[in-house]
Structure 1
Amino acid sequence: MKTTLIAAAAALAIPAAAQAHFLLEYTTDTMIETPGDVPVKLIFWHPFENGHVMDLETPEAFFMIHNGEKTDLLGTLEPVMFSGGENEGAAFRGTVPVRRSGDYVLVTVPQPYYEESEEIYIQQITKAFLNRNELPTDWDQPVGLPTEIIPLNKPYNVISGGTFTGQVVADGAPVAGAEIEIEYMAAEPDMQSAASSEPTVSPLPGGAVVAVSDANGYFTFGVPKAGYWGFAALGSGPETEHEGKELSQDAVIWIRAWDLE
C-alpha cells in the first residue's frame, strides 16, 4: 500500500536564491470550448514570487499527444521576450491546434540550462494538459519520456481543497525517494503582452514546498487554492551529466485546480 504524503504540510528551509525554477507551458484556459489554435507560452521562471526569468533556448522538442497520436509543434514556436517582476528573459510563443474532442497533452523537452550559481545544468521535461468537450482520452497515459509524472487525478479539473496524486517514473520505472518541488502560479503571463500579472499570494516562509515520493514513486498533495500548480521531480531522470557537469533532469507537470461553485 502506498504511503500518502500531504505536502501542504511539508516545507524545507532552503535559501531564497534556490526558490524553484519552473518551465511553464502556459495557456489562459485548460478547458477549450471552441475549436481553433490555442496560444501557448513557454517560459522558464519563478512564478510563485514573480521572480527571476531564465533565458529559454529553442527546445529540443515541443509536441502534443491527442488520442494517442503525436503531433510536432516545434514549428509553431516564435521567440518572444517575457518580463517578470525582476527582469526580462527569452521565451517562446506557439500554438496548439485543438480541433476534436478529447485531451491534448503538451510536452516540452528543453535544452539543458546552465545554472551558474549552482554550477549544474537543469533540464525540465514538462507536461501540461488541455481538454475539449470534457471527453477524457490521454491524461492518465505515460508519454514515454526519459522521466515524467503520471497523474492519477484528471489534471485539468482538480478540486481546490482536495488532493492531487502523481507517480514519478524514469524510463517507465517508479522513482522512489524523488524530491518534488511544488509551485503555485501566483503571477500569470499575459498572452497579449510581454509582462506578467501581479502575484495574488506570497510564497510560504521556509523556502520551496517539497514532497518526497514513496517506494512506488507516488506522492499526494493537498491542493489548498484554485489556479495552476506545478510539480517538479528533481533529478528523477536517467541522465546525470551534460558537457562535463552535473545535470538535474527533472520531470515537471502542471495541473489546474478549481473552486466548487
Structure 2
Amino acid sequence: MKKTLIASAVALTLPAMASGHFLLEYTTDTMIERPGDVPVKLIFWHPMDNGHVMDLDLPQDFYMIHNGEKTDLKDTLETVQFTGGENSGAAFKGSVPVKRSGDYILVTVPVPYYEESEDIYIQQITKAFLNRSELPTDWMNPVGLPTEIVPLNKPYNILAGSTFTGQVLAEGQPVAGAEIEIEYMAAEPDMENAASSAPVVGALPGGTIVAVSDTNGYFTFGVPKAGYWGFAALGSGPATEHEGKELSQDAVIWIRAWDME
C-alpha cells in the first residue's frame, strides 16, 4: 500500500525528452466479439495534438502473446502512408488473428528512429492489448522485453474516472524515478482512409503530463476521460547508445478507458 501511495497522484509537467512522440498499435476496438483477423495500424505520431507524423521503418519485431504463446505477425505488415494534421509519413497496416477467447498482447520493437531536432535516437518498445470473450489470460504478465510497462489494472477496460497503475521494468527489474509521459489519443486514425480524425480535446494547460515511478517502479494516474491513453517511460531501457549517438529506449503501453453507462 505504501509504495502505491507514493506514486499516486504524481502528474507533473516536467521537461521530457522526445516529448509527444508515441508509437501506436491502433485497433478500432479492444474488446473483440467474434473470431477473425483484427486490422491494426502501426503509426509513429503525435496523437494528442494531431501533430507531426514520423516515418516508420519496418519493425525489428511485431508479434502477439496469447495464452503465453508467441506468434510472429511481421509477415502481415504492409507499408501505408498515414496523414495527420501536419503531414504524411510512412506507417504500416497489419492484422491480428483473434480466434480463441482470452487476451492478446501486441508487441512492437521498432528500429531506432533518429530525431534530428534533438540529435538522438528513439526506440519505443510498445505494447497494446485486445481481449475476446472477457476472459483474462495474459494482460498482467511481463513479456520479457528489454524495457516494458506491466499493467496492474486490466488495460482494455479501464473506467473513466478511475485510476491506472503500471510498473516500469528494465531487464525484468523495477525502474525507480522513470519519467512517464502520458498522452491522450485526442485524434484517432481512420482505418479506411489512412488519415486522422480531428482532435476531440484541446491543448492541456501546463504542457505534457508526466508521472514519476516510485522506488519500486510503480506509478498511478487518474484517468479523466474515455478513449485511448498512452504511457511512455522515457529512457527506461538498458540500451543508451545507437550508431554513436544517444538512444532513448522507451517502454510504451496503450490502455482503453470507457465511460460507465
Could you state the TM-score of these two structures normalised by the residue count of structure 2? Answer: 0.97
Is the contact between residue 13 and residue 207 of structure 1 (CA under 8 Å) also seen in structure 2?
A: no
After TM superposition, give the deviation of residue 14 of structure 1 in Å: 6.8
Whether 1:4 aligns to 2:7 is yes
Counterpart contact for 1:32–1:132, Cα < 8 Å: yes
Q: CA deviation at 1:12?
A: 2.9
| Corresponding position of 2:97 | 97
1:4 Cα deviation after fit? 2.7
Does 2:58 align with 1:65? Answer: no
What are the equivalent positions in structure 2 for 1:140-159 lying under 5 Å apart? 140-159=140-159
Contact 1:5-1:211 within 8 A present in 2 as well: no
Matched residues in 2 for 1:11 and 1:5: separation? 15
Residues 14, 207 of structure 1: 8 Å contact kept: no
Task: Determine if contact 2:98/2:132 at 8 Å carries over to the other structure.
Answer: yes
Does the 8 Å contact 1:14/1:206 carry over to 2? no
Kindly tell me the number of residue pairs found equivalent between the two proteins: 258
Q: Which residue of 1 aligns with 2:190?
A: 190
Q: Any idea what SS the aligned residue of 1:183 has?
A: strand
What is the match of residue 110 of structure 2?
A: 110
Aligned-pair identity (%): 79
**What is the Cα deviation at residue 194 of structure 1?**
1.5
Structure 2 spans left out of the alignment, 5+ residues: none
Alpha-carbon distance in 2 for matches of 1:21, 1:13: 14
Deviations 1:82-107 (A, max 9, x none): 00000000000000000000000000
TM-score (norm 1): 0.97
CA distance in structure 2 between the partners assigned to 1:28 and 1:241 by the alignment:
35
In the alignment, structure 1 segments of 5+ residues that lack a partner are: none
Cα deviation, 1:176-201, whole Å, max 9, x if unaligned, reads 00000000000000000121000000
Name the amino acid aligned to 2:200: T
1:1-261 aligned at under 5 Å gives the runs: 1-2=2-3, 3-7=6-10, 9-12=11-14, 19-261=19-261
Seen in structure 2, the aligned counterparts of structure 1 residues 14 and 151 have a Cα distance that, compared at 3 Å, is closer
